[in-house]
């Protein structure tokens, strides 16, 4: 599960910054999440910040950063590729690692290419755009290997790790954009933050975005500027518009537009809506989400419709889904279909099976599989998502699927007390992996058929340490859901041990 899933939003809300301090938006390197083991005997290496030295890059870490060794101490270098020799400058020295940046590449990798996006080295989300696409796919298989080597779940060295399924065109795939907007001097900027900073980069073109999302974003930027709409000033915690969210339907081409605002009022919204109607006929719904104050969270709790349709619709595996502004849908429509087809093949369902859809969101996975099983029961902790899932069941005339609010430790025993035992289970958790309670319930109830859709190889490997007590891993199919980034996605087929 990726990006703005209900489960992830709940986790983020729980762990949000309530200190009032300016939040950090850039992606800061954290070696503890790199998957690399450190040698404790080399903490005293004589090196200092701003020191330069040549470095041979041995491999990539799980975040896409180059890894080399200086006097046998691990060095992390974003933007460097394996087999390259680079002159690097130290940016950070810690007891267990050194962080550095590239000054000059003396020997280039044959897999190095010029990024299509000029800003790729500045902002997050383009960690691998300087790398050929076949090499990116190979790296994403290696990410899985690194994670399994670190956690070593039962039988890990014999797992069938299948080559990453990529895209024919690994660009223009993101169907949703949520970009902050700020006034920098006299210029209105809409874009992304620089890595490890809070400096906003104005982005006229982003090649991983669907061109429609960028057209709408840039037009909205011009209209906001022309109409002198109040823009949020974070330093003063004053002003209105903070973020623009644009989502386009792959199925219909309709666009849903949301303004995230600092104030519950929206001065000038009437004139703005009129201008949007004239300039952007593809926009069929305009919304306002109220998210006051300094916060690292994009979304607030309250969303109202300003104009147009309540939903846009998307078709997935022959089923229609209504999407409100905060409803979760995978950002890569093409690869989403690949993931679901792989999951269906791995489950090998029959019409007699009872299927549990965990981390259900608005029901996209479970409802897509409903005609293959006897019954689907879904679980989700976000009430709005459960409502959407049950509505989506109705509009698709699906009568054998039902979604409930609750956790695994609440619903699994409840369903069992009703005499309902699951034959099959599909899970699609956020990057934090499976809840401890769900892992416990899986090991207690042991559904015969089990598929784990993961978006984080590290937490998958961690979860498999427990899961392989009761299941064997038949195979793991890596799928490139986010080309040009270090993000990994995979489908795991598990079979209950005898």
Active site residues: 455
Side-chain-side CA neighbours of residue 165 (13 Å): 17
Side-chain-side CA neighbours of residue 183 (13 Å): 16
Instruction: Say if CB 213 and CB 178 are below 8 A apart.
Output: no
Side-chain-side CA neighbours of residue 376 (13 Å): 28
Distance CA 209, CA 388 (A): 26
Which element (helix H / strand E) includes 354?
Answer: strand 354-358
What residues contact 326, with CB distance under 8 A and at least 6 apart? 4, 9, 289, 299, 303, 384
Phi, psi of 390 (to 5 degrees): -70, -35
In terms of C-beta distances under 8 Å and separation of at least 24 residues, what long-range contacts does 230-233 make, across chains too?
A: 230/267, 230/268, 231/181, 231/182, 231/183, 231/188, 232/181, 232/182, 232/261, 232/262, 233/182, 233/183
Helices first, then strands: H and E counts in the chain = 10, 23
Instruction: Say if CB 232 and CB 241 are below 8 A apart.
Output: yes
């Amino acid at each position: 599960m990726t990006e703005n899933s209900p489960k992830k939003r709940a986790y983020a809300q729980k762990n949000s910054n309530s200190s009032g301090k300016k939040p950090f938006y850039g992606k800061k390197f954290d070696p503890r999440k790199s998957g690399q083991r450190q040698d404790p005997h080399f903490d005293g290496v004589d090196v200092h910040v701003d020191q330069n030295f040549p470095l041979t890059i041995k491999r990539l870490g799980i975040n896409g950063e180059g890894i080399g060794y200086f006097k046998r101490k691990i060095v992390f270098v974003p933007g460097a590729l394996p087999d390259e020799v680079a002159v690097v400058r130290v940016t950070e020295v810690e007891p267990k690692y050194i962080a550095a940046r590239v000054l000059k590449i003396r020997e280039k990798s044959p897999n190095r290419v010029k990024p299509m996006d000029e800003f790729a080295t500045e902002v997050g989300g383009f960690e691998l755009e300087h790398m050929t696409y076949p090499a990116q796919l190979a790296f994403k298989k290696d990410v899985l290997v690194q994670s399994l080597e670190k956690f070593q779940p039962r039988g890990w060295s014999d797992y069938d790790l299948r080559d990453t399924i990529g895209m024919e065109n690994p660009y223009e795939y993101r169907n949703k954009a949520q970009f902050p907007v700020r006034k920098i001097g006299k210029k209105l900027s809409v874009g992304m933050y620089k890595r490890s900073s809070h400096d906003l980069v104005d982005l006229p073109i982003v090649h991983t975005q669907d061109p429609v999302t960028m057209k709408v974003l840039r037009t909205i930027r011009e209209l906001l500027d022309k109409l002198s709409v109040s823009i949020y000033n974070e330093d003063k915690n004053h002003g209105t518009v903070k973020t623009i969210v644009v989502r386009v339907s792959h199925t219909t081409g309709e666009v849903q537009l949301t303004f995230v605002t600092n104030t519950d009022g929206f001065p000038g919204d009437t004139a703005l809506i009129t201008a949007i109607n004239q300039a952007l006929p593809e926009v069929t719904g305009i919304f306002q989400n109220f998210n006051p104050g300094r916060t690292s969270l994009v979304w607030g709790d309250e969303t109202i419709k300003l104009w147009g349709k309540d939903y846009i619709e998307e078709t997935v595996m022959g089923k229609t889904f209504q999407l409100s502004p905060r409803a979760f849908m995978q950002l890569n429509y093409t690869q989403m279909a690949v993931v679901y087809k792989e999951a269906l093949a791995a489950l090998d369902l029959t019409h007699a099976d009872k299927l549990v859809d965990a981390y259900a969101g608005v029901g996209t996975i479970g409802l897509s599989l409903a005609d293959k099983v006897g019954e689907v029961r879904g679980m989700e902790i976000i009430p709005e998502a459960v409502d959407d899932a049950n509505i989506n069941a109705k509009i698709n005339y699906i009568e054998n699927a039902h979604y409930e609010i609750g956790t695994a430790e609440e619903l699994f025993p409840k369903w069992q007390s009703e005499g309902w035992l699951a034959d099959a289970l599909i899970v699609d958790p956020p990057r934090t992996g499976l809840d401890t309670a769900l892992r416990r319930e899986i090991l207690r109830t042991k559904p015969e058929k089990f598929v784990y859709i993961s978006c984080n190889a590290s937490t998958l490997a961690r979860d498999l340490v427990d899961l392989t007590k009761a299941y064997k891993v038949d195979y793991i199919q890596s799928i490139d859901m986010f080309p040009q980034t270090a993000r990994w996605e995979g489908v795991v087929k598990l079979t209950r041990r005898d």
